[in-house]
Homo-oligomer: A and B are copies of this chain.
C-alpha cells in the first residue's frame, strides 16, 4: 500500500490543471539566468558552442529574457572567460525570436566598453545591500561599489541601453545576519535613481520567508518605487524560493529570475546557494493560470541535455520528475 507507482507523464494528462488566482498577475516575464549566474557557479567549464546551443534552446523554449554571460575579467570568473566568443554566436537569435532580450553582466566601465563594442542592448550591474558582501565580492565598500557603477549606468543609459541593477543580500547576509529593510531600500533606490530600469532583489543565501518578502516589497512601495520596476531573485538554499515567489506575485511582481534546471548550485560548496529552477517556477505559474510563454516540455529537455553536459543530474524537482532522473 502506498508503494511507489510507475506513472504516466503528468504533462500528457493535462497536469497541472490551471486554477486561476485572480489576485495574481495574468502574465510573468521570466528573467532566465542559467547561462550566466547558473554556469558561473558550476564547477565544470562548458565549451562555448554548448553555451550558444543552450541559449538558443532556451529562446526556442519561449524564454524572452536570457542573461547570457558577463564581461568580467576572465581571471575572476573562468567559467565565463569566453564571453567575447559567445556573444557573436548569438547574433541571429533576436531575429528568430521577436522580443528576445539577451542581457550581459557588466562589472565596470571596461566591461561596458566591451559590451558596447559588441552591440549589446541590455546590461546588468551587480551591487550589494550589505557592507561585508560588497567588500568580499566587489572588493570595495558598498558606497564605493555604488560610486563605481554610477558612470557605468550613466554611460549605458546615454547610449540607449537598458540597465538592470542586481542588489544582493536583500533578505539576510551570511556575516551580518538580518539586513534592515531601510538599508536595502536605500541602496535599491540609489540604483534606480542613477538610471537602472529594473532592480532585481536578491536573496543570495536563500534565507527569506514569505512574509519578509511582502514586508520588503511594501517598503519599496512606501518609498515610491513602482512594483513594475522590481524583480525578485530567490535562491532555494532552504527550499523557500517558490513560496517566496508566490508571495512576491501577490505583491504585484511580474518579473521573476530563475535558472533553467536550477543551474548554479555548486555541488562542492557548503550551503550551496542554488537558484530557483525555472521549471519548478513554470509548473507553479501555469498551474495558477499565469502566462509565461514557455513550453515546459522543451525547457525540461533543454535542462536535461545541459545536465548531461555538466555530468550531474539537475536539482530541479520538475526536471527530475519529468525525466526520471534523481541525484
Contact = CB atoms under 8 A, between A and B. Distances in A.
Interface of A: 1-8, 10, 13-17, 19-21, 24, 37, 40-41, 70, 72, 76-77, 107, 126, 133, 136-138, 168, 172, 174-178, 204-212, 214-215, 236-240, 242-243, 245-247, 265-274, 277, 279-280, 283-284, 286-289, 313, 315-318, 320-322, 324, 326-327
Contacts of A41: 2-4
Contact of A207 (B10, B174, B176, B326): B10
B318 A238 contact: yes
6 contacts: A2-B126, A14-B177, A19-B211, A21-B210, A239-B277, A272-B321
Nearest to A242: B243
A209 B296 CA distance: 15
Contact of A240 (B126, B284, B316, B326): B284
A210 B324 contact: no
A47 to B, nearest CB: 21
B210 A4 contact: no
A147 B271 CA distance: 50
B317 A236 contact: yes
A270 B207 contact: no
A174 B322 CA distance: 13
B270 A7 contact: yes
Q: Copies per complex?
A: 2
A172 B266 CA distance: 34
A324 B280 contact: no
Contacts of A8: 174-175
A37 B76 CA distance: 47
Nearest to A269: B4
Contacts of A10: 172, 174, 205, 207, 238, 271
B210 A246 contact: yes
A210 B2 contact: no
Nearest to A265: B326
Contacts of A107: 1
A125 to B, nearest CB: 10
A246 B211 CA distance: 11
Contact of A316 (B239, B270, B320, B321): B239
Contacts of A280: 238-240
B137 A1 contact: yes
Contacts of A207: 10, 15-16, 287
Given A236-B317, A237-B317, A208 B269 contact: no
A39 to B, nearest CB: 12
Given A242-B239, A283-B209, A1 B321 contact: no
Contact of A172 (B13, B238, B321, B327): B13
Nearest to A14: B177
Contacts of A15: 172, 177-178, 207
B208 A7 contact: no
A41 B2 CA distance: 8
Contacts of A209: 16, 19, 283-284, 286-288
Given A206-B321, A242-B243, 4 more contacts: A2-B204, A6-B270, A210-B246, A313-B327
